[in-house]
Amino acid sequence: MKVRYDPKADILYILIREGPVADTDEVDDDVWFEYDEEGNVVGIEIWNAGENVIRKSLLEIERYTKGLKGEIKA
């Protein structure tokens, strides 16, 4: 699996499997699945990733860490 992010276009692409794409389907607002000829998902493209993924993930992390006691150490 490979993950690429284009900050200028704000598109996150997750490559699940190398190979040709036979079909693409918008499964949700700004979320596209790419399929091979057998119908397996080979890639996921998320538009407006800053809002749809990154921001939401940071909010979830913030909400989770507020419930933790003590200091978080890296």
Quote the pLDDT of residue 74.
Answer: 46
pLDDT in tens, 5-19: 999 999 999 999 999
Quote the pLDDT of residue 21.
Answer: 97
What distances in angstroms separate CA 5 from CA 11, 13, 27, 46, one per listed residue?
A: 6, 6, 20, 9
d(CA 63, CA 32): 28
For the chain, residues with pLDDT lower than 70 are: 67-74
Quote the pLDDT of residue 30.
Answer: 92
Dihedral of CA atoms 55, 58, 60, 62 in degrees, nearest 10, equals -140
The neighbour count for residue 30, using CB atoms within 10 Å, is 17
Helix (H, G, I), strand (E, B) or coil at 35: strand
